């Protein structure tokens, strides 16, 4: 079990606030968050299971009150050790700093990939919730006007794309990932080059993601996104500034292997490998089954301003972005 000191900074966030953590195995993603976000996770799991399928698995929350002498890292380790969903956090009346004292513990969507390529697509034409202050509304409306939010209902908030072993360059990190920071989607991407931006995410010849492989990735993402679209069209919610989090195997050789493995029949039908005898013996104490190498995953994240809103109809503001991204993926998936 990981010791408290084993909780580490999460280095794969492509957008958002500082202060995100993960456990040493990288299985968990731990983010300081507001209570409405926790409430949205709980309500979704309870009443909207078909949507919850596209949220990262929610494991619980960590709480750090000023009177408690336990750090968030220590509580995180305890939760990780338990691997169970704890009691929901009850806000204290005097807790002004409660928002910053609560952290949500999620499944790390990038775990299990050899070289995860990650894209955060922020959804919405309007980016602010009803309760936002006037200055925030003004600021966000300007962002909408100046970016693809206006016409397409989304913008690229950030992305990282593996460029292959030993790749170097000004915008390439020490592990060979090209980093597209928040300025990319804010100032470089527009309606006329947005398909190219998605191409930059999905196709990377130097990492072994060629045309054929990239098209398969685009088609796989499109299948999941179409399902997300259907779910949102059939439900009544408002999600301001939520994101689509796209992750896929950015290492072409590993991606090919993972796809070949997936096409083999899985006897137990759970998407799990049937491990060969040697492996099985080595893993005897391990309760977990051998899982297939990861190909891709698509999740909806960032529910700080999300609510289920019965009676209000589907969230056309977020759906505008979902449909635009679907259109782009459909285009990239074609030969």
Query: Taking the complex as a whole, how short is the minimal distance between the CB of residue 297 and ligand ADP, in angstroms?
Result: 9
Pick one of ligand ADP, Mn ion, none as the site partner of residue 56 (Cβ within 5 to 8 A by kind).
ligand ADP
Exactly one of 37, 73, 251, 302 binds Mn ion (CB under 5 A); that residue is 302
Contact present, 32 and 304 (Cβ < 8 Å): no
Element (H, E) at 9: strand 8-9
Query: Taking the complex as a whole, how short is the minimal distance between the CB of residue 302 and Mn ion, in angstroms?
Result: 4
Q: Does 40 bind ligand ADP (CB under 6 A)?
A: no
Contact present, 221 and 96 (Cβ < 8 Å): no
Q: CA separation (Å) from 4 to 22, 99, 100, 204?
A: 11, 22, 19, 38
Stretch that binds ligand ADP, among 266-274, 286-294, 298-306, 315-323 (CB under 6 A): 298-306
Which 3 state secondary structure label does DSSP give 259? Answer: helix
Q: Does 20 bind ligand ADP (CB under 6 A)?
A: yes
Q: Which residue has the tokens 């034409």?
A: 125
Q: How many CB atoms lie within 10 A of CB 114?
A: 15
Strands, DSSP E only, in 201-261? 237-239, 243-249
Pick one of ligand ADP, Mn ion, none as the site partner of residue 79 (Cβ within 5 to 8 A by kind).
none
Q: Does 251 bind ligand ADP (CB under 6 A)?
A: no
Euclidean distance between CA atoms 301 and 198, whole angstroms: 19
Exactly one of 101, 102, 108, 117 binds ligand ADP (CB under 6 A); that residue is 108
Which 3 state secondary structure label does DSSP give 151? Answer: helix
Q: Does 61 bind ligand ADP (CB under 6 A)?
A: no
Q: Does 136 bind ligand ADP (CB under 6 A)?
A: no
Query: Taking the complex as a whole, how short is the minimal distance between the CB of residue 257 and Mn ion, in angstroms?
Result: 32
What x/- string results for residues 207 through 246 when contact with ligand ADP is judged by CB under 6 A?
------------------------------------x-x-
CB nearer to ligand ADP: pick between 31 and 208: 31
Q: How many CB atoms lie within 10 A of CB 133?
A: 9
Q: And the tokens for 67?
A: 């009177």
Pick one of Mn ion, ligand ADP, none as the site partner of residue 225 (Cβ within 5 to 8 A by kind).
none
Query: Taking the complex as a whole, how short is the minimal distance between the CB of residue 213 and ligand ADP, in angstroms?
Result: 23
Taking each continuous run of H as one helix and of E as one strand, the counts in the chain are 12, 12
Q: Which residues pair with 249 in a beta bridge?
A: 116
Residues in touch with ligand ADP (CB under 6 A): 13-17, 20, 29, 31, 56, 106-110, 118, 120, 158, 243, 245, 301-302, 304
Residues in touch with Mn ion (CB under 5 A): 16, 302
């Amino acid at each position: 079990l990981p010791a408290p000191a084993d909780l580490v900074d999460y280095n794969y966030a492509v957008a958002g606030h500082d202060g995100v953590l993960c456990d040493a195995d990288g299985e968990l993603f731990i983010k300081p968050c507001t209570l409405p976000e926790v409430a949205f996770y709980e309500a979704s799991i309870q009443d909207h299971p078909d949507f919850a399928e596209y949220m990262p698995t929610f494991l619980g929350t960590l709480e750090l009150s000023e009177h408690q002498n336990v750090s968030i890292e220590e509580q995180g380790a305890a939760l990780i050790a338990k691997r169970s969903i704890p009691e929901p956090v009850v806000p204290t009346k005097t807790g002004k700093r409660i928002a910053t004292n609560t952290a949500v513990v999620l499944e790390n969507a990038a775990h299990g990939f050899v070289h995860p390529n990650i894209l955060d697509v922020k959804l919405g034409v309007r980016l602010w919730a009803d309760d936002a202050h006037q200055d925030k509304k003004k600021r966000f409306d300007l962002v909408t006007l100046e970016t693809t939010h206006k016409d397409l209902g989304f913008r690229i908030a950030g992305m990282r794309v593996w460029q292959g072993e030993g790749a170097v360059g000004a915008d390439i990190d020490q592990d060979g990932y090209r980093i597209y920071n928040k300025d990319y989607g804010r100032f470089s991407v527009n309606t006329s080059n947005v398909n190219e931006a998605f191409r930059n995410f999905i196709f990377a010849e130097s990492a072994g993601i060629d045309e054929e492989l990239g098209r398969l990735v685009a088609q796989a993402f499109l299948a999941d996104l179409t399902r997300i679209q259907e779910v949102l069209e059939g439900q009544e919610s408002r999600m301001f500034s939520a994101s689509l989090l796209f992750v896929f195997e950015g290492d072409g050789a590993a991606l090919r292997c993972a796809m070949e493995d997936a096409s083999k029949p899985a006897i137990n039908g759970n998407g799990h490998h049937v491990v060969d005898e040697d492996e099985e013996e080595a893993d005897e104490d391990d309760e977990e089954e051998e899982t297939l190498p990861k190909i891709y995953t698509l999740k909806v994240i960032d529910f700080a301003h999300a609510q289920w809103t019965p009676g209000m109809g589907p969230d056309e503001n977020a759906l505008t972005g979902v449909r635009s991204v679907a259109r782009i993926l459909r285009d990239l998936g074609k030969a």
